[in-house]
Structure 1
Amino acid sequence: MSARLEKLRELGLALPEVAKPLAAYVPAVRTGNLVYVSGQLPIADGKLLMTGKVGAEVSVEQAHGLAQRAALNAIAAAAAEADGIDRITRIVKVTGFVACGPEFSAHPQVVNGASELFGQVFGDAGAHARAAVGVPSLPLDAPVEIEIVAEVG
C-alpha cells in the first residue's frame, strides 16, 4: 500500500470513488503536469452530507469537517486523472467556497478543513496557495465546495 493511502487509513479515511458530475463538466482535466479538479462537494456514498448556510444551519465545526470531505473527493478526482495518488507531487492551489450570509467572516477556519487534510496526506507537498470565498449559495444547497489544482509527475 502506498504511503499516502496508508496515511489516509491512519486518519480513518479511504479514497472514495470519484463523485459523478452534477452538470455538463468532468471531475478533472489534466494539461501538462497540472490537474485541475472541478469543485467538489461534501458527498459520501452518493449523498450530500449536509445542507444549509454556514453560521446559520451549519456550524463552523461542521463545515470544517465537510470541507475535509470535499477535499477527500478532490484528491480522488485528481488521483483518477493522474493515474494514482502517488503521481500527485504537489497541491498547488485550493479554492474553498463557503455558503453563508453577509455577516459571516470565518471562511478561513472552514476551508482549513481541506487545507489540513492536504497537509496530513501530502506533507510539505500539501502546502498550497489558497482562497476562501463566501458565497450566497452552492449547488444542492451544499455548505462548502472545494476545488484544487494539483501537480503530477
Structure 2
Amino acid sequence: MTETTQTWSARLAELGIELPAVAAPVAAYVPAVRSGDHVYTSGQLPFVDGKLSLTGKLGADASDADAKAAARVCALNALAAINALVGIDNLVRVVKVVGFVASAQGFTGQPGVINGASEFLVEVFGDAGIHARSAVGVAELPLGSAVEVELIVEVR
C-alpha cells in the first residue's frame, strides 16, 4: 500500500478512476493467470466500451500523444483483469510492463508511447508502481491496434 493504510481501490477512487469490465479475449486465452505470488496479464488493447480507442501505426497515421493515452488505457484494462482475478487490493507491486507499439518504418519513439502506461502505474501505486519495462516496435498488432500492454505484478 501507500505510506498510509489506504487500499488501492480507495486510491483509484480518490483519483476518479473506475476499473472497466474486463475486455473479452479475442482468441484462445484468458485475460490473466496467477502463478504463485505473481499475476501475468495477457496483452491488453486500448478498448474503451468494447471499441478500440486507437488504431494505426506510429510514425504514419497515429500521433504519439494519442498512442501514449492509449497505452494508459491498456494499463487500466490490465488492472481490470488483475482485479477480476485476485482483487486489486491484493496487489503488492508492479514488477514489469511490456509494451508493443505498431510502428511505421523508422519510428523509434516506442519508449515515449509506453510511458503512458508506466506513468499511470506510478500515479496510482506510487513506489509500488515503479517497474522494469520493455517497449517494442512491431509491424502489426491484433485488430489493427496501435498499442498493446501486458503486466506482471506481485500479489499477496
Q: Per the shorter chain, which TM-score range?
A: over 0.9
The gaps in structure 2 that reach 5 residues or longer are 1-5
Task: Report the Cα distance in structure 2 between the residues aligned to 1:144 and 1:11, rounded to whole angstroms.
Answer: 24
Rounded Cα–Cα distance in structure 2 between residues aligned with 1:108 and 1:116: 12
The offset of 1:10, in angstroms, is: 4.3
State, as a whole percentage, how many aligned pairs show the same letter: 56
8 Å Cα contact 1:29/1:35 also seen in 2: yes
Q: Could you tell me how far 1:54 is from its partner in structure 2?
A: 1.2
User: Which structure 1 segments of 5+ residues have no match?
Assistant: none
TM-score, normalised to structure 2, is 0.92
The equivalent of 1:54 in structure 2 is 58
Deviations, residues 93-114 of structure 1 (Å, cap 9, x unaligned): 1000000112001111000000
Q: Deviations over 1:50-69 (max 9, x none)?
A: 21111211100000000000
TM normalised by structure 1 equals 0.94
User: Which stretch of the first structure deviates more once superposed, 5-14 or 50-59?
Assistant: 5-14
Deviations 1:67-118 (A, max 9, x none): 0000000011112111x11101111010000001120011110000000111
1:87 aligns with 2:65: no
Give the root-mean-square deviation of aligned CA atoms.
1.2
Decide which of 40, 53, 56 is 2:44's aligned counterpart.
Answer: 40
CA contact (8 A) 1:5 1:15 kept: no
Q: Does the Cα contact within 8 Å between 1:7 and 1:120 map onto a contact in 2?
A: no
Q: Tell me: CA distance 1:11–1:102, structure 2 relative to 1, closer, same or farther (3 Å).
A: farther
Give aligned pairs, total.
151
2:92 partner letter: T
